């Protein structure tokens, strides 16, 4: 049966679910982004929800909270980002969620930073029309190794 994927505004009850998603060691490895302790995570989300200039949406799959997708400004560039619970990976959810966000957000260009080894995220972006424009060395990962990132753009 086809899954029903939709976006809606984030509500407070979603935050503990997002918190659990970003604790997953496989997700941390995939995104090369360290998980935040609970207090820091909640403070981070309080800040982004209070920012009128950013967009945060909960990804709902068949009525269940599957993850989040966000669009925010960083260093003068408007960025997209997303994170799904592992049980929802590999089913086309992120691609559909990003396509729905791109229909909502008319701003172009949009940017995304993806660590080189995150093939899934790169594919999500490319399937939605983003193209790699440059490479950058990002912040070190938890082992202290520099993280090689791809920068993608949707013009």
Ligand X SMILES: CC(C)(COP(=O)(O)OP(=O)(O)OC[C@H]1O[C@@H](n2cnc3c(N)ncnc32)[C@H](O)[C@@H]1OP(=O)(O)O)[C@@H](O)C(=O)NCCC(=O)NCCS
Nearer to ligand X, 19 or 89 (CB): 89
CA separation for the pair 142, 154 (Å, rounded): 30
3-state helix, strand and coil shares in percent for the chain, rounded to the nearest 5 = 35, 35, 30
Q: Residue 94 interacts with ligand X (CB under 6 A)?
A: yes
CB of 42 to ligand X, least distance (A): 19
Nearer to ligand X, 15 or 30 (CB): 30
CB of 92 to ligand X, least distance (A): 4
* Residue appearing with tokens 């172009």: 108
For ligand X, the binding residues in 56-85 under the rule CB under 6 A are: 82-84
By three-state DSSP, how is residue 15 classified? Answer: helix
| Cβ atoms 134, 149 nearer than 8 A | no
What is the CA 75 to chain-centroid distance, rounded? 17
| Cβ atoms 70, 83 nearer than 8 A | no
Nearer to ligand X, 28 or 42 (CB): 28
Q: Residue 29 interacts with ligand X (CB under 6 A)?
A: no
Q: Residue 91 interacts with ligand X (CB under 6 A)?
A: yes
CB of 154 to ligand X, least distance (A): 14
* Residue ranges in contact with ligand X by CB under 6 A: 27, 30-31, 82-84, 89-95, 114, 118-121, 123-124
């Amino acid at each position: 049966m086809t899954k029903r994927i939709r976006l809606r505004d984030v509500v407070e009850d979603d935050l503990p679910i997002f918190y659990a998603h970003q604790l997953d060691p496989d997700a941390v490895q995939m995104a090369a982004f360290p998980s935040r302790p609970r207090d820091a995570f909640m403070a981070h989300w309080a800040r982004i929800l209070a920012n009128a200039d950013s967009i945060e949406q909960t990804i709902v799959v068949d009525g269940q909270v599957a993850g989040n997708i966000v669009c925010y400004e960083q260093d003068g560039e408007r960025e997209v980002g997303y994170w799904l619970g592992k049980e929802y990976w590999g089913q086309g959810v992120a691609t559909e969620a990003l396509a729905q966000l791109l229909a909502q957000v008319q701003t172009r260009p949009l940017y995304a930073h993806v660590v080189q080894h995150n093939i899934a995220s790169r594919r999500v972006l490319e399937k939605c029309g983003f193209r790699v424009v440059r490479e950058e060395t990002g912040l070190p990962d938890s082992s202290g190794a520099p993280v090689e990132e791809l920068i993608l753009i949707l013009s």
